[in-house]
Amino acid sequence: MATAHPADIYVNIQGDEPLIEPEIIEKLARVMLDDAELQMGTLCYPVSAEQAQNPNLVKVVRAHNGNALYFSRSPIPFARSGGIAPEYFGHIGMYAYRRQFLLDFGKLPYSKLENTEKLEQLRVLEAGIAIRCLTVQAMAPGVDTPEDLEAVRRIVAGRGE
């Protein structure tokens, strides 16, 4: 893509996120355009402790600057007894990349973390590359299971589409 269609920023919306709103796409692209140091960006949204238990929902924890610290299928951070109740954030399958990063991504070595969790963004973190993770409001469901697909179909049917 980056070789056939030159651009400064590329936005990839994964197929399991059919209800992404256009303003969210613009928000992510704007952050990338406004900060030339960012190589990759993505989105997250607050989820409940119950939702965080779902291994189909990828969770993310972030640093104070909004950069991702880790992505996991497990509920992170771990809620140790007597500790502060954690905030959980679900990851949204949408990414923005700079052109050179996209050209170089395939050259990054596969990582043990990526292979363990089956999450390609862990290859980026293990290589020491920051991923900015913007928080947005709760999203319409992604499609990870047959039940999710039915929920999305009901939403689309309700919109008259």
pTM given for the model: 0.86
* Residue 21 Cα distances to 7, 40, 48, 57, angstroms: 22, 20, 22, 19
Q: What kind of fold does domain 9-158 have according to CATH?
A: Spore Coat Polysaccharide Biosynthesis Protein SpsA; Chain A (3.90.550)
**Per-domain boundaries in the chain:** 9-158
Structure tokens at 11: 């936005």
- Give the residue, 122 or 84, on which the prediction is more confident: 122
Average pLDDT, the chain: 90
Q: Which pLDDT belongs to residue 84?
A: 83
Instruction: For residue 67, give Cα distances in angstroms to 21, 41, 54, 144.
Output: 22, 9, 23, 25
> How confident is the model over 23-52, as pLDDT tens digits?
999 999 999 999 999 999 999 999 999 999
- Per-residue pLDDT reduced to its tens digit, 90-109: 999 899 999 999 999 989 99
Q: Closest Cα partner for 45 from 56, 34, 59? A: 59
